[in-house]
């Protein structure tokens, strides 16, 4: 038996997984960043919706680097070294494509959400979704 689609955590996981990729590209489009700084920028961009952990950020950065969407270089600050990543032109194109995909789906998604929740009083939470179940993983 698969995942329980009536469990909010199932849907929240799917939304966070997709949005984290998008917000990571968006954050890197602003300027080069290291992993911790990038996780904070993603959290700020999505207003806490995704709050990616190191276990999410670093594998995504590796995937982006291997795919040519960003380049990562080790920088030294005194005795400390950190990997700083920068979006490539391919990464900028991926961000534009992703933005167009989200822009195309958001109006119909909002309508479907409104119909599904008709009559319910729902406080907006993270990413415009109901507040229940939006806490970070």
Helices (H), 46-88: 54-66
Q: What is the pLDDT of residue 123?
A: 55
The number of distinct structural domains making up the chain is 1
Residue 100: how many other CB atoms lie within 10 Å:
10
Instruction: Give Cα 112 distance to the centre of its chain.
Output: 22
Summarised one tens digit per residue, pLDDT across range 91-101 is 999 999 999 99
Q: Does residue 3 sit within a domain?
A: no
Summarised one tens digit per residue, pLDDT across range 105-136 is 999 999 999 999 997 875 555 554 444 444 43
Q: What is the pLDDT of residue 77?
A: 82
Q: Does residue 118 sit within a domain?
A: yes
Residues 69 and 93 sit within 8 Å (Cβ to Cβ): no
Helices (H), 78-126: 89-116
- Which CATH number belongs to the domain containing residue 23 in this structure? 1.10.10.10
pTM recorded for the entire structure = 0.78
Q: What is the pLDDT of residue 1?
A: 67
Q: Does residue 120 sit within a domain?
A: yes
Q: What is the pLDDT of residue 35?
A: 86
Q: Does residue 134 sit within a domain?
A: no
Summarised one tens digit per residue, pLDDT across range 14-50 is 888 888 999 999 999 999 999 889 989 998 888 877 7
User: Measuring CA to CA, which residue among 74, 15, 70 is closest to residue 46?
Assistant: 15
Res. 53 pLDDT band, cuts 50 70 90: confident
Domain that holds residue 124: 8-128
Q: Does residue 107 sit within a domain?
A: yes
Q: Does residue 51 sit within a domain?
A: yes
Mean pLDDT of 45-61: 85
């Amino acid at each position: 038996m698969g995942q329980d689609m009536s469990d909010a955590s199932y849907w929240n996981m799917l939304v966070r997984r997709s949005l984290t990729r998008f917000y990571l590209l968006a954050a890197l489009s602003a300027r080069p960043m290291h992993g911790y700084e990038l996780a904070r920028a993603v959290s700020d961009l999505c207003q806490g919706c995704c709050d990616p952990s190191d276990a999410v950020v670093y594998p995504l950065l590796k995937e982006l680097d291997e795919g040519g969407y960003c380049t990562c270089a080790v920088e030294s600050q005194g005795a400390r070294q950190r990997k700083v990543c920068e979006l490539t032109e391919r990464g900028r194109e991926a961000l534009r494509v992703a933005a167009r995909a989200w822009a195309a789906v958001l109006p119909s998604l909002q309508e479907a959400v409104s119909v599904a929740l008709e009559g319910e009083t729902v406080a907006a939470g993270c990413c415009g979704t109901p507040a229940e179940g939006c806490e970070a993983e």
